[in-house]
Structure 1
Amino acid sequence: MDAATGFLFTFFNIDVARQYADVIGKGTLITLSAGLAVIVTGIVLGTLLAIVRSLGCRPLSLLIVAFADIMRSLPPLVLLIILYFGLSEVGVPLSAFAVTWISLSLVLAAYAEESVWAGITSLPKGQMEAARSTGMKWWQTMRWVILPQGIRRAIPPLTNRVISITKNTALGSVVSLNEILNNAQGASSYSGNPTPLMMAAFAYVAIFLPLVIFSRWLERRWIQN
């Protein structure tokens, strides 16, 4: 067996790939589901927190700032382990999927809040005053005038965070979430061959490369508009 054949047999073994294709496929669906749930929940929660912070209520603002600072300081893995094992100790056990979703959503919400807040505060204060002078209520002004511009300015820094945080769904393997990496590691151990890990790598590229391309398109489109 020459070097090329040996390399293909080791990393791209067709028989092993066929045997574990279903396992990797199921892990891919779990990763997709968890990633989408994290993106939606994290961005929505972060945007809501930025809106609440815009109300100017000092106690609420301090709580939101504290939340954002703590979530951005904690490694996602630490947060995941605390929620998974800590909640079980107080009688609130959660599934591996739920813990992964909640943990990463909280981290993304912290970054989303800071990005949207920075976008809102970068706007001239006169815009709020001008809109209110036309008879619009505070919420209407925020909804139709301030928030769209703030989100547009938040897009560039936020897209990178979305990608990096959603890739952390792989951390769910620590609490036995059957996502791509966990399934691939198990399959590789059972087969004694790293082909399942190569399959996992291709699956990650298939999931996240379109997200990277979409984020670049979104940045260009919003900046141009």
Structure 2
Amino acid sequence: MDNFVDQFFNLDLMWQSLPLLMKGLGVTLQICVVVIVLGGLGGLLLAVASDSRRLWLRWPTIVYVDFFRAVPPLVLLIFVYSGMPFAGVNLSPYAAVILAFLLNNSAYYSEVYRAGLQSIPPGQIEASRSTGMSRLQTMTWVVMPQAVRNVLPDLLSNTVEVVKLTSLASVASLGDLLYRADMTRSMSYNSSPIVLAALIYLILLWPLVRMVSRFERKQSQ
């Protein structure tokens, strides 16, 4: 029992590794902010394009969304980081991680937004257009606020998945939270830094998970 506690809950080692893990947490949060913001905006544009009446715009968008939702994020990251250099495209670990996660998450955000757009009754759009509002004004002031509200739990749930997805960044040797924890583990031959990293992820994600549950309960009522 003492060996188990020392191997996984060595408080002294956790305290010594905490500053290094905090630096990794900063990198993780940077990735989260960039991917969530750009992925959300890209997903919104893709959702609007997939709902377009123009076939030349709608079908390529649908193919893009289906393809990047089907490809596993880890496979995509390895391809971008390790495969593209063979084609002469050399990206830094940070750029490779951002690009791979952005391609993946914009597709998922797109499906969430599209579900929200389809939840708006056509009568509201027709009524807005009859008042003299343009299509852009109708989309901006009438459709999107309601659509986002209708799928807010799904948006928050997808955001939680983005935070968990950042743990794959260690594959690209990016100094994020998990990578630094694993490096500390390999040097100390002790798994306590990994446990500490898991606790940090739990502290980050627990409020978001509770928020998702709260919104889901409100919607069901």
Settle same-fold status: TM greater than 0.5.
yes
Contact 1:17-1:196 at 8 Å conserved across structures: yes
Tell me the distance in 2 between the aligned counterparts of 1:186 and 1:91: 30
Q: Secondary structure at the match of 1:177?
A: coil
Task: Name the residue aligned to 2:115.
Answer: 118
Bigger mean CA deviation after superposition, 185-194 or 211-220: 211-220
Letter of the 1:30 counterpart: V
Bigger mean CA deviation after superposition, 148-157 or 70-79: 148-157
Letter of the 2:131 counterpart: T
Contact 2:66-2:107 at 8 Å conserved across structures: yes
Tell me the distance in 1 between the aligned counterparts of 2:57 and 2:145: 23
Task: Name the residue aligned to 1:82.
Answer: 79
- Residue number among 180, 183, 187 corresponding to 2:180 in the alignment: 183
Tell me the distance in 2 between the aligned counterparts of 1:220 and 1:36: 27
Structure 1 residue 141 corresponds to structure 2 residue 125: no
RMSD: 2.0
Task: Name the residue aligned to 1:154.
Answer: 151
Task: Name the residue aligned to 1:198.
Answer: 195
Task: Name the residue aligned to 1:9.
Answer: 6
- Give the % identical residues: 38
Aligned length: 221
Task: Name the residue aligned to 2:70.
Answer: 73
Question: Once the 2 structures are TM-superposed, how far is the Cα of residue 165 of structure 1 from its aligned partner?
Answer: 3.1
Question: Once the 2 structures are TM-superposed, how far is the Cα of residue 170 of structure 1 from its aligned partner?
Answer: 1.0
Alpha-carbon spacing, 1:216–1:105, altered in 2? closer, same or farther (3 Å): farther
Q: Secondary structure at the match of 2:62?
A: helix
- Residue number among 184, 209, 213 corresponding to 1:212 in the alignment: 209
TM-score (norm 2): 0.91
- Structure 2: tracts of 5 or more residues without a match: none
Task: Name the residue aligned to 2:88.
Answer: 91
- Residue number among 40, 58, 62 corresponding to 2:59 in the alignment: 62
Question: Once the 2 structures are TM-superposed, how far is the Cα of residue 219 of structure 1 from its aligned partner?
Answer: 4.7
Bigger mean CA deviation after superposition, 13-22 or 201-210: 13-22
Structure 1 residue 32 corresponds to structure 2 residue 29: yes
Contact 2:116-2:148 at 8 Å conserved across structures: yes
Question: Once the 2 structures are TM-superposed, how far is the Cα of residue 135 of structure 1 from its aligned partner?
Answer: 0.5
Q: Secondary structure at the match of 1:193?
A: coil
